[in-house]
A and B are shown apart, each in its own frame.
Chain A
Amino acid sequence: MGANNTFDAIVVGAGHNGLVAANYLAKAGKKVLVLERRADAGGQLAGASFDGQAYPPLHAGGRLRPDIVRDLDLARFGLSDADSVDAVYTSMLPDGRTLSLSSKPNDAKTLESIRQFSAKDAGAWPEFAAFMDRAAAFLDAAYRTPMPRLPNIGLAEGWPLAKLAWTLRRLGGRDMFRVIRAMSMSAVELTEEWFESEELKAAIAAVAIHGHTLGSMSAGTGYTLMHNWLNRGGVAHRAPAGGSVRIAEALVAALKSRGGEVRTAAAVAQIVVDRQRATGVRLESGEEILAGIVLSAADPRTTLLGLVGAPELPPEFVWHTRSIKMRGSQAKVHLLTDGKHGIPAGTVAIAPTLKYLERAFDAAKYGELAERPYLEVTTAGDVVSIHVQSAPYKLRHETWDTARARVEQLAVDTLAERFPQLKASVRSLRSITPVDLERDYSLTEGDPNHGQLILDQMFFMRPMPGWSTHLTPIDGLYLCGAGVHGGGGISGAAGRNAAQAVLKAK
């Protein structure tokens, strides 16, 4: 195929970060090819289909960072503004009451709903929501700031960091210290400083631990609350009109219009390395494609130990790569119903108390399925999608072959306690276990974030100490997935950061 098979850059994986990185490169005039193992582009935002029935993507919500939408002109490719969606987050309580929170700080309905549980908390909510918005904005700035390698920080790397420090100081003494403290606090400690109602504290703490293998009492869940708040734009998931699948579609359309190429059903078997330099990839079909540089949106462990291989890498680096904490502990149960499920729109949580959340985490900690799981539920027409947390990848007493049926039953039974008409309305059911996430979505240990969002794996330590610059020991190989700085959740920041690092290096 000759010159036709040579690209400026190959991106491994068409998840949203891979597509964002590809778009930035294509926009800069590079000839880019994105290779995707699965049949559809989009990764966790790709629509799923079982037995001919379409299901929503793995990730219920999703908002790309506004600067990415702007930079890539995605509105032109059909991506509407997710912020205009009035998202509601509802915690269903055992006594039949509901706590409904909107992301708007002064929403009257939200205040009224909180007032059922505590008038004092209703009074504190607007300031809390406003503070969380400011904290999230700071985190956004941090995720935008390149994290240099320590301690050789020259002026070029030091200046953005100084600007970030200034952003933090500009929050004012009070908020600045609140943000610094919240980073290492637990969600329980953080919410206790603001609220008295158990129901409200638990509803917020659930958002903090969503997607992470941590309990609400674990230190560092103050940080994951800020992270999830930033990515959601509040407490509820927000998806653009048409669902989060639209994000992937818009990114693909934008890329194509910029001359980029996406090949699906094209699994990369190997990143080809010649004398410590990436020269292209070899597909499982045996086909070799050459490129000046390779970006991988796969998780760091898959990329480095799977696609490159330990023999090509320094031993200490291999040790660090193996030490990345992955730890997925979530399953998804999709229910196809007759539409009479009774579940309200928006994001619905089964997270009644802090201890309930913690006990569910305890089970996951010891490799067991939680008998009383923390659930988060979204609906798309007749389809009910249940996110089951505390379903650990590494089960101690059984395998996922037998656990699959149990997690399905636990999810449906737990949800049916709040929505009695649910069971009768279910027509069929599909579940995605952590093992499926690894096999079908290439997520090592089923970790959707490509590495736990714990402080020792963040910022200049993401994905590992010394390699926060998107570089790897292999020249010309860059990391651009959720496992690198800016990553975790749907935001596109990791892809953007990686592309910028690539373009700056040229």
Chain B
Amino acid sequence: MTSNQYDAIVIGAGHNGLIAAAYLARAGKKVAVLERREVVGGAAVTAEPFPGYRFSQFSYVVSLLRPEIIRDLELPRHGLKILPLPSTVTPMDNGDYLAAWDDHDLSRQELYRHSPLDAEASDEYGRVMARAAKAIKPIIGLVPPDPSSLSLRDMKGLLKLGQYGKSLSEQELYRISKLLTQSAADLLNEWFEFDPLKGTKSASGIIGTFLGPNSPGTAYVLLHHYMGEIDGAFRAWGFCKNGNGGVTQAIASSARALGVEIRTNAAVQQVIVKNGRAAGVALANGDELQAKVVISAADPKRSFLQFVEEKHLPGDFVQQIRNFRVRGSSGKVNIALSELPDFTCLPGEGPLHRGAISISPSMEYIERAYDEAKYGQFAKNPYIDMIIPSMIDRDMAPPGHHVMSCFVQYAPYDIEGGWDDAKRDAFGETVISTIERYAPNIRRAIVGKQVITPKDIENIAGITGGNIFHGELLLHQLFFLRPAPQWADFRTPLPGYYFGASGAHPGGGVMGAAGKMAAMEVLKDWK
């Protein structure tokens, strides 16, 4: 069976897995990607739960995907097309709204209407955050050195980090130190006064995180969302043509063109270990595939607690992976609509429908939503981030009809009593009735509705705990601590076994950096 013999096997055809495979194939390796599901894409998939209505099932916007990956893998040639999401509108409880349009002067006027002080502060805030994001960006592409090691490679890494630190100005250093440690609420309260503005901005600090905006550490998550760019436009967010499945389809197409073999319906049972080295994988159907190296793009828990027998890993490491926090905190409601939601704050079809609509009237609103989740309930008044992809890409829904994607937080994975159909229905109903307060026609417009809980994310996309980042972006789970101390360089305690997914440095958000860096480290070690 020579066809089951590879240089490298990648477990999981999410964007990171596909990117790792593509880079290895580009270096001339014979690579197979094994995907448990019948479709490729992982959590970046487009599904059609109701005929004619297509949804980005889980992740739904792009911005963080590394530009060098787009270039190296020639993704535009393989169909990647990103359409801008030009605005964010926050409906307010008094019937008014706050809008950030793609026109700077218009946005400023709009904010000025609510708070002259905030309008004054806003430009400077944007500049400061962009500078901080730019300053911290080089860290993303750095393989984290192990500060406890005296090896040449780690010392070089630490030196590089030191040089990087030296390159920053005093102001940048302090700004970054603060952003790494403080709460989104403290950060925003220093700058702004208008509640809907602070609420909407703080939401970036809690996405995928089981913390409220008042908890220290959330400013970093906010900064993480500032690191994106589209065609060089810093921190712009966009929507992928054909949904986020379009991203992974393009990567898969590029990988295939480079000679990567992608097998779907190929669930990995276990990594085969021979002479203390990863030597291949055994599939659930009994097939065995051999390879010189195995790279896992699954989450850390599956990668180390499920695929590898405990005896092959040091006890300390296993314990650290067990301690890795993967608390899912968000859900998704995908709605097929016969008409556009009609928002009372901006009646009729308008530019707001082409951008994000954010239910985030204040930071306290979001903090209270978190309070419910920390005691094991989904939020009765959740934060919702809505976009209507069919307004940007008409192919997503039948003519005249629409699809709306609602990202909802908080919904705890560990809901009291566990998730079941009744709770899922109640969660969906809560989301609809929350939207209904701002867009009263929503209920009659619904043609179909798909409710996804963190438990569903785990079941369908295979992410343990249903955390969209494969593990929260908490300070103690970043950089040289991600996914475990001393193993943040994409290697693992099992020789020949590598780890390159969102659970590795630099974390999630359809960035692709982990997949690329893992492939580069594999190539460095290749003998």
Contacts and interface: CB of A to CB of B under 8 A. Distances in A.
A59 interface: no
Interface string A116-156: 00000000000000000000000000000000011110000
Interface string A462-481: 00011000000000000000
A150 B173 contact: yes
Chain B interface mostly: helix
B166 A465 contact: no
Contact of B178 (A217, A366, A465): A465
A414 interface: no
User: Which of B173, B174, B323 lies at the interface centre, i.e. has the most chain A CB atoms within 10 A of its CB?
Assistant: B174
A358 B374 contact: yes
Contacts of A189: 325
Interface residues of A, number: 36
Contacts of B481: 177, 180-181
B325 A455 contact: no
A173 B177 contact: no
Nearest to B376: A355
Contacts of B217: 184, 219-220
Interface in B135-190: 147-148, 165-166, 168-170, 173-174, 177-178, 181-183, 186, 190
A184 B486 contact: no
A217 B474 CA distance: 13
Contact of A181 (B166, B186, B374, B476): B476
A460 B474 contact: no
B316 A461 contact: no
B475 interface: yes
Contacts of A185: 474, 476
Contact of A456 (B181, B215, B374): B181
A218 B475 contact: no
Contacts of B165: 151
Nearest to A461: B177
Nearest to A221: B216
B316 A174 contact: yes
Given A173-B486, A176-B148, A150 B174 contact: yes
B170 A454 contact: no
A184 B323 contact: no
Task: Give the secondary structure class of A's interface.
Answer: helix
B52 interface: no
B476 A184 contact: yes
A428 interface: no
Nearest to A366: B364
Interface in A337-385: 355, 358, 362, 365-366
A456 B476 contact: no
A325 interface: yes
B170 A149 contact: yes
B485 interface: yes
B181 A184 contact: yes
B485 A177 contact: yes
Interface in A255-273: none
B148 A217 contact: no
A323 interface: yes
Contacts of B173: 150-151
B157 to A, nearest CB: 15
Nearest to B374: A217
A102 to B, nearest CB: 27
Given A181-B481, A217-B374, A219-B474, A461 B174 contact: yes
A323 B178 CA distance: 12
Given A455-B181, A465-B174, 5 more contacts: A180-B485, A181-B481, A184-B476, A454-B182, A465-B177
Interface of A: 149-152, 169, 173-174, 176-177, 180-185, 189, 193, 217-220, 222, 323, 325, 355, 358, 362, 365-366, 454-456, 460-461, 465-466
7 contacts: A150-B177, A151-B168, A177-B486, A181-B476, A219-B474, A220-B216, A365-B367
Sorted nearest first, the 10 A-B pairs with minimum C-beta distance are A465-B174, A184-B475, A177-B485, A456-B182, A455-B181, A219-B217, A456-B181, A181-B476, A173-B148, A220-B216
